[in-house]
Each structure stands twice: as structure tokens, then as C-alpha cells.
């Protein structure tokens, strides 16, 4: 008591200083959180604003007369005739009819350039889907070329010089006429989600990349989840504590920090060159990614298993369960939320990885949506990377759109992780 009164005079001064330090620290912490949030917001808004435009695509409405003659004349054309019909010719004929004043070959070509080169293939798809339309007139919206699209979206000024616009004054006139007649509009861009890569921005989509990513992640999970969980269980519950196991432990921790490109090199050397698995296949992509996620799963799994109170296992053992039964019936189910969270976070990281895929040939131009894990495929982050390096302006917005799709994927996975933890988490 006496000692305290002796110290009293000093205390207020020190206390004020400590309070100040406390306040300063809190402010700094808050500022760093806010700064982080601002960075995130700027990034997100930037991607969102530039990606939002890719959701819409300029389309031209054409009233096409599908004459029976176009498909070989007979009433019931065979599939080959349907496939090989001159759809480009049909579209040209229709456009030229709308602009009867266009006569010269050169002008006609300029006019046809307003429509995407992919329009003919869309018309083909339409006819193949429903051959009964042959012989009738249809009204169909077909994609406009990317130069038109950029003008329609205001990415390129209408009054810019023709060099900059990449459209001549005459083409602008036609464009404005089409627009005034209500035959040129921006519509929802389904193509972005339904088709594979293309060199024409208006025809490019993320479907092939999305499916490729999905296959890779499934393969990755099938391999890394059981292996990772078993390894975690073994190291935590069964492994004797000796030099060998601690050596393994150190290595697993190191493995989690290895740059991902190294796993790509490993994949190239082992999976492609030694096992001769096909290049560019999601199977190999998934295998390489599983090497990457496995250490994460093992580490997260071990932490989760450590979190289960030893009394549970001991009680099971006391009741006569074998060690394996005790672990599989009691410890693992209780540790599962933590294990799953670790797995999902590890997989979400793998989802955003391009470097290892570069080495095994998944950084490629793939048009066809892969049908199996052996078909050539790319992944979403690869698609972002490839599109960002394309000269056409239309790809800039599509790059952002692909980033948004990737972010949505990753966000969904993280949300699952949070929900799983919320639902199954047990507090001791």
C-alpha cells in the first residue's frame, strides 16, 4: 500500500503517454485496413467498369429470306448440304438488298465488314438447329464487327478520323442508318459465356476456359484431398516422432512456399516427358495444381486435427476402439470443417494460377470447349493473360470480364469455405 502511494505521482504522466501510444497504434491499424479496402475497391471498380461493357455486344438485325435454292434446292436437304451452304453469301445478299445504292465491289466489301465474320457461322447454327425454317423469312440478330461495337459503346469517338475509327466515313453513314432504323443495337452478350476463345472479340467467350478450369480443379481435388488428409492424419496421429518424420514435416512446410512455376517444370519433366501424358490437357493441369495444393491441405489439416481435444480420441480408445477407428470415427469428422476450409482456400489459389500451366501447354488458343479431361484446354487466368495481350481494343473489356468471372469463381469457393465452417464448426 505504501509502495503504491509512493509511485502515484509518476503514474499519470506515464499513463497519458501510454494512452497516446495506444490511440496512435489503433489509428494506424485502422488506416492500414482502410487503405487496403481502398486499394481493393479501386481495383474492383476499375475491373467492373471496364468489364461491364463486355456484357453487351452490338448486333445487327437482318431479315433473311432462306431460299430453298440456298440449300441444294430439294425440300429435304441432307445434313451435309445444310452444313456446307453458302451462309456468307446469304448474309451478303440480305445486306446488299437493304442498301441498294451500294454498287461497287469495294463499297460492298466495306458494307459487309460492318457485320462480324462470325455472323455466317451463327446463321449456320440457327439453320442446323431448326431446318424447318428453310423456305421462310426470318428476322435474326447477328453480331456486328468489333470496330462497330467499339463505336456503339463509345469506346471510339464517332468524329475521330477514319484511321482511328478503322471505319470509313461511308461505313459510318451506313452504321448510322442501321442505327436509326433500329437494326443496330447492343444486346446481352451470350457468346461471352457460351463459346470458346476466338480471335474476333465479338465471338470470343470464356466457356472453354471455364470448363478447363473446372476439370483441372476436379482432378486437383480428387488427387490432393485424399492424399493431403491422409498425410495430415498420419503425421498427426500415427507417425512416430523421430528425425525422419520431422524431416518430412520441414519439407512439407517448404513445399508450400515453392514458387508455382517450379511445379510446372516438374509436371513437364514427370507427367509429360516421363509418363507421356497429353500436352495441354486439364488432367495434367490438375495433377500439377494438386502438387501445389497438397502442402496447404496437409498443413491446414494438421492444424484442424490438433484442434480436436485429445480427450475424444482417448475416450474412444478407452471404449475399445482401435487407433484407426478412433481417428476415422471420431477425430477426423470433428476436424473436417477445418480441413475443408484449408482445402477450399488452397484450391482457390490453384484456380488463379497460370505459371505452372504455361509449362505444360495450357497457355494456348483453344476454341472447342473440352469434352473430357484429356482434351486440350486452357484455364480462366490463362484466358485473362492471353486476352490482355491482344491488339484489338474489344479484348480489353473482355479481359476485365474474364477477370470478373474468375473472381466470381474464387469468391464462390471462399464463400463455401466460410459457410462450411459456420455450419460445422464446434467450439470446445
Residues lying near other proteins in the complex (CB under 8 A) are found at 117, 121, 156-157, 160, 163-164, 166, 197-200, 223, 227, 230-231, 234, 272, 275-280, 283, 287, 361, 363-368, 373-374, 376, 386, 388-393, 396
CB of 204 to other proteins, least distance (A): 10
Q: How many angstroms separate the CA atoms of 422 and 303, rounded?
A: 17
Cα angle vertex 66, ends 63, 72, to 5°? 160
Of 80 and 139, nearer to other proteins (C-beta) is 80
Do 58 and 143 touch, CB atoms closer than 8 A? yes
Q: Which residues, other chains included, contact 190 with Cβ-Cβ below 8 Å and sequence gap of 6+?
A: none
Interacting residues of 266 by C-beta distance below 8 A, sequence separation 6+: 288, 291
Q: Which three cell numbers stand for residue 11?
A: 503514474
DSSP string, 256-284: TTS-HHHHHHHHIIIIIIIS-PPTT-HHH
**Least distance from other proteins to the Cβ atom of residue 117, Å:** 7
**Residue linked to cell 467499339:** 150
Nearer to other proteins, 286 or 342 (CB): 286
Tell me whether residue 280 or residue 341 sits nearer to other proteins (CB atom): 280
Q: Report the residue count for the chain.
A: 428
Cα 415 to its chain centre, rounded Å, is: 16
| Nearest CB to other proteins, comparing residues 135 and 278 | 278
Closer by beta carbon to other proteins, 70 or else 197 = 197
- Closest approach of other proteins to the CB of residue 349, in Å: 21
- Residue 135 Cβ vs other proteins, minimum distance, rounded to whole Å: 25
Decide if 231 contacts 291 (C-beta within 8 A): no
Closest approach, Cβ 403 to other proteins, in A, equals 14
Residue whose CB is less far from other proteins, 185 or 200: 200
Least Cβ distance, residue 114 to other proteins (angstroms): 13
Amino acid at each position: 500500500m505504501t509502495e503504491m502511494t509512493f509511485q502515484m505521482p509518476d503514474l499519470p504522466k506515464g499513463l497519458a503517454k501510454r494512452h497516446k501510444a495506444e490511440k496512435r497504434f489503433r489509428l494506424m491499424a485502422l488506416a492500414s485496413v482502410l487503405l487496403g479496402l481502398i486499394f481493393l475497391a479501386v481495383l474492383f471498380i476499375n475491373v467492373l467498369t471496364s468489364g461491364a461493357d463486355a456484357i453487351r455486344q452490338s448486333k445487327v438485325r437482318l431479315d433473311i429470306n432462306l431460299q430453298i435454292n440456298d440449300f441444294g434446292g430439294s425440300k429435304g436437304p441432307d445434313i451435309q448440304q445444310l452444313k456446307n451452304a453458302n451462309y456468307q453469301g446469304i448474309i451478303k445478299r440480305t445486306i446488299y438488298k437493304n442498301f441498294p445504292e451500294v454498287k461497287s465491289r469495294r463499297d460492298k466489301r466495306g458494307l459487309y465488314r460492318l457485320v462480324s465474320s462470325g455472323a455466317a457461322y451463327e446463321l449456320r447454327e440457327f439453320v442446323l438447329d431448326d431446318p424447318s425454317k428453310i423456305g421462310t423469312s426470318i428476322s435474326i440478330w447477328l453480331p456486328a464487327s468489333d470496330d462497330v461495337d467499339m463505336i456503339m459503346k463509345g469506346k471510339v469517338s464517332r468524329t475521330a478520323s477514319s484511321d482511328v475509327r478503322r471505319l470509313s466515313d461511308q461505313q459510318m453513314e451506313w452504321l448510322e442508318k442501321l442505327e436509326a432504323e433500329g437494326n443496330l443495337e447492343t444486346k446481352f452478350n451470350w457468346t461471352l459465356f457460351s463459346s470458346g476463345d476466338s480471335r474476333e472479340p465479338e465471338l470470343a467467350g470464356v466457356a472453354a476456359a471455364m470448363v478447363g478450369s473446372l476439370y483441372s480443379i476436379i482432378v486437383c481435388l480428387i488427387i490432393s484431398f485424399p492424399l493431403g488428409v491422409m498425410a495430415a492424419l498420419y503425421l498427426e496421429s500415427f507417425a512416430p516422432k523421430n528425425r525422419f518424420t520431422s524431416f518430412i514435416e520441414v519439407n512439407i512446410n517448404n513445399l508450400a512456399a515453392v514458387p508455382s512455376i517450379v511445379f510446372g517444370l516438374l509436371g513437364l519433366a514427370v507427367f509429360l516427358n516421363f509418363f507421356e501424358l497429353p500436352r495441354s490437357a486439364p488432367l495434367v493441369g490438375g495433377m500439377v495444381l494438386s502438387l501445389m495444393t497438397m502442402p496447404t491441405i496437409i498443413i491446414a489439416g494438421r492444424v484442424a486435427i490438433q484442434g480436436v481435444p485429445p480427450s475424444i480420441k482417448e475416450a474412444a480408445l478407452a471404449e475399445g476402439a482401435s487407433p484407426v477407428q478412433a481417428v476415422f470415427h471420431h477425430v477426423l469428422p470433428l476436424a473436417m470443417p477445418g480441413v475443408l476450409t484449408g482445402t477450399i482456400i488452397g484450391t482457390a489459389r490453384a484456380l488463379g494460377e497460370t505459371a505452372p500451366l504455361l509449362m505444360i501447354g495450357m497457355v494456348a488458343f483453344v476454341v472447342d470447349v473440352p469434352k473430357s479431361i484429356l482434351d486440350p484446354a486452357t484455364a480462366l487466368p490463362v484466358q485473362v493473360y492471353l486476352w490482355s495481350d491482344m491488339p484489338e481494343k474489344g479484348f480489353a473489356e473482355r479481359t476485365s470480364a474474364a477477370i470478373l468471372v474468375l473472381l466470381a469463381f474464387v469468391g464462390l469457393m471462399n464463400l463455401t469455405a466460410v459457410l462450411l465452417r459456420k455450419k460445422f464448426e464446434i467450439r470446445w
